[in-house]
Structure 1
Amino acid sequence: MERKQHLDGTAVAILLGCCLSWGLNQVAAKTALTEIGPLWQAALRSGVAGVLVWLFAAARGIALFRRDGSLPGGMLAGLLFAAEFACIFVGLQYTTASRMVVFLYLSPFVVALGMPLISPSEKLTLRQTAGLVIAFGAVAFAFGEGLRGGGQAMQWLGDALGVLAALLWAGTTLAIRGTRLSTASAEKTLLYQLAVSALALGAGAVATGEILPLAWSWRLLGLFAFQAVIVSFVSYLLWFWLIRHYVATRLSSFTLSTPLFGLLAGALLLGEPITPRLMLALAGLAVGIVMVNR
């Protein structure tokens, strides 16, 4: 199908909502680690979100199990998705949420480099490439304050897992665009990833001996509901709909606003100060996004 080359008002509004929820996601996941292991947390949220996607598709009469040649791509995307979140959730045990989100947003660079191999029309111009660099530089600049200090034990391991998660996230986006999943419905694309990742991550939790908590506090239920319903179901469904209708390089560059949304949420919800460094970074991010999407 022909994809829109520029982001219209609908796409921007959806992206802003998605990026806001993703900015909060790392904080919610790290907070929940005090009550549930990383692999069980990732597996259960994929499982619950997968059931919600199936019910949503059934209510709308969307065929999810019709043969359309998308199974190989779906399995690949699902395994990449599972590996990505295993890296994120395990990595959050060793590094901070702010560091994790910085490394995770190396993904747009990989997407920008890989998309021309799949769709030559999506090759970035020199100006767009410069905009992408400026946008990412703004993100790194904003989080520079949070990266100072003593750090956690084995922080290098968490950082390395964050970089690997970024590569896997980009690989998932490229797999969707480079296989028959590019013509599948957003619901089917998402269900592949949630179902496969739930099984793979659950098997990993059992194999590593993670203990599944039987008694859940209201705090854990709230954190889990946010991740499973808002992030894994609603925002991902919207994200894969966007991938089908807009060019991937424009979308990936816009997601660079996610870590800054996380920082702003911390200021509003936790009383963290908004510094001049952050305001300069926001300005740089805006310039970069305009250069890429103009």
Structure 2
Amino acid sequence: MTERKLHLDALAVTLLLACCALWGLGQVAIKAAMSEISPFWQSGLRSGLAALLVWAWSAWRGIPLWQRDGSLASGLLVGALFAAEFGCIFYGMQFTSASRMVVFIYLAPFVVALGMPFIAHSERLKPRQLLGLSLAFGAVAFAFAEGFGAHADAQPLQWLGDALGLLAALLWGGTTLTIRATRLSQASAEKTLFYQLAVSAVLLCAGALLQGEPLPLHWSPRLIGLFGFQAVIVSFVSYLAWFWLVRHYPATRLASFTLSTPLFGLLAGALLLGEPITPRLLAALGGLAVGIALVNK
């Protein structure tokens, strides 16, 4: 049986902060690379390379990926959810900024917190925690409304990109709940991640072919760097750490803590891409931060 801890210790907090920083930078890398590679090819090839790295890592450490353990059906499901999530993120990034996308994606903890009590009674939420999650949800809704205002004139389809970010959040939350509710909760972090990366690589590359997206034949050093960061550091290293955390710590507390990621995303988007940070977006970020405090107090 997998050892579970009731609270986040120093190791969990350190790994979470590192993951959140990498995920915030990852959104910026996606946006920056879009000038040289189309959305579905970027996402599909990223998953494919990361899947090969997970396979090599598992072979080196002697971790079985192919043994029968009853997890195939749930593995295919989370792989499809993972593919849909990142399809929404990569496609939506064409219409909205990386700073906004990273805020909307982190509605996922709200989905996890609402669903986890039906899976694990020990993660039932108290009224204070529900208040915190409601505040976080309201903050995201407040930021989303900006896509329909005067600020959206320069980006008329910003609302579409924001909506796809919200859909990606629902899919991410659903993926976390599926992992905890099925045989994958007892599978290794490597096997759980391999399912998602391998299945999503096939589905997203197929989506690129159906969309008629051109596969870039010339890869500049800039594109290699951005793509390598996404595939190796974000999709391989940070996701492996995340699924290890999901197996050993309360999913609700983990998911709510990741709401700190938008801070890293906002800063990275402003510093590296020159994206505007509006007062409404800052207010939404403040609401998310208070929500984190209420859920984890």
CA distance in 2, matches of 1:198, 1:22: 19
Where in structure 2 are the equivalents of 1:95-134 lying within 5 Å? 95-134=96-135
Closer/same/farther in 2, CA of residues 280 and 169 from structure 1, 3 Å limit:
closer
Deviation track 1:21-60 (CA, whole Å, cap 9, x = no partner) reads 1111111111111111100000000000001111111111
Do structure 1's residue 157 and structure 2's residue 160 form an aligned pair? yes
Q: Name the CA distance, whole Å, in 2 between partners of 1:205 and 1:278.
A: 32
Taking a change above 3 Å as real, the CA distance of residues 271 and 42 of structure 1, as seen in their structure-2 partners, is closer
- Who is 1:90 aligned against? 91
- Residue 58 (structure 1) aligns with: 59
The letter of the residue matching 2:49 is: V
Work out the CA distance in 2 between the residues paired with 1:138 and 1:153: 22
Give the corresponding residue for 1:205: 208
- 1:44 partnered with 2:45: yes
Taking a change above 3 Å as real, the CA distance of residues 184 and 13 of structure 1, as seen in their structure-2 partners, is: same
Please tell me whether the aligned partners of residues 95 and 151 of structure 1 are also in contact (alpha carbons under 8 angstroms): no
Would the aligned equivalents of 1:122 and 1:249 in 2 still touch at CA under 8 Å?
yes
Distance 1:230 1:157, change over 3 A: same
Report deviation, 1:98. 2.2
Counterparts in 2 of 1:140-219, with a 5 A limit? 148-219=151-222
Q: Does 1:247 align with 2:250?
A: yes
CA distance in structure 2 between the partners assigned to 1:274 and 1:213 by the alignment:
32
> How far apart are residue 87 of structure 1 and its match?
0.8
Aligned residues: 294
Structure 1 residues without counterparts, runs of 5 or longer:
none
For 2:231, which of 224, 228, 233 is the aligned residue?
228
Corresponding residue number in structure 1 for 2:16: 15
Shift of residue 266 of structure 1?
Answer: 4.2
Distance 2:20 2:7 in 1: 18
Q: CA deviation at 1:273?
A: 9.4
1-structure distance, mates of 2:280, 2:118? 37
| TM-score, L = length of structure 1 | 0.90
Percent identity among equivalent residues? 71
Distance 2:206 2:54 in 1: 22
Native 8 Å contact 1:131 1:290 kept in 2: yes
